[in-house]
Amino acid sequence: MSSGYHLFCPFCGYEKFLSHGSGMLFFKVYEETLKAAKTGEQGENIKRFFEEHPDGVINANLIMTQCENCGEYWSVKNLSTYIPKSKKSTPSDGRNLVFMRHSNTMQTTQNNENYLSEEVLDDYYDLVEQYPHSCEYCHGKLKILNDNIQDMKALICPYCKTKLIKTPVEWD
């Protein structure tokens, strides 16, 4: 399940759909993200990270962000990298570690897709680096928006600064 917000500016008509991963890591999405990471699609830093840490994992969840410079909103993949907390428990093939080792914590959606909660990632892994997300329009730094009333109610239109109308959306 994913969820997000439809943003709408009643003054200038600006519209954006922001989605976030709801604290779940889907196996299929994870595999795709990992493959892209290792081939350098997400930059040299992440590619090098996986060369140095074959047992490392990457957070494939979507997050909601806003550009600190131009104010535009973006849904981006988290892409934070992690290494296992205990060296002893590192299996030889680290790629599917996060899913295989904690199979007792795995859950299945209606479509039989496996996912893992972000809490398990936090419990068994140490954060190494947060991905420095930047704005596609102006290359400004993106700040992460939390899905809470305080963060969400303050959102304003990037173009005319009018307070945005936020409609929560959820789907499978």
Residue 157 near Zn ion by CB under 5 A: yes
Residue 155 near Zn ion by CB under 5 A: no
Longest distance between any two alpha carbons in the chain, whole Å: 58
Task: Residue count of the chain, please give it.
Answer: 172
The alpha carbon dihedral of 94, 100, 102, 105 has a sign of: positive
Residue 64 near Zn ion by CB under 5 A: no
Nearer to Zn ion, 138 or 154 (CB): 138
Residues 116-135: x where in contact with Zn ion by CB under 5 A, - otherwise, as a string = -------------------x
- 172 burial (CB, 10 Å; 0-12 / 13-18 / 19+) is exposed
Cα–Cα distances (Å) from 43 to 28, 95, 142, in that order, read 21, 19, 17
In the list 7, 9, 46, 62, the residue contacting Zn ion (rule: CB under 5 A) is: 9
Residue 34 near Zn ion by CB under 5 A: no
Q: DSSP letter string over 57-78?
A: EE---EEEEEETTT--EEEEE-
Nearer to Zn ion, 70 or 154 (CB): 70
Site for Zn ion in 72-101 (CB under 5 A): 72
Report the alpha-carbon distance of residue 140 to residue 69 in Å, rounded: 5
Candidates 21-29, 31-39, 60-68, 90-98 — which segment interacts with Zn ion by CB under 5 A? Answer: 60-68
In the list 2, 159, 165, 166, the residue contacting Zn ion (rule: CB under 5 A) is: 159
Nearer to Zn ion, 22 or 69 (CB): 69
Residue 169 near Zn ion by CB under 5 A: no
SS3 content of the chain, % helix, strand, coil (to 5): 25, 35, 40
The residues of the shown chain that bind Zn ion, judged by CB under 5 A, are 9, 11-12, 14, 67, 69-70, 72, 135, 137-138, 140, 157, 159-160, 162
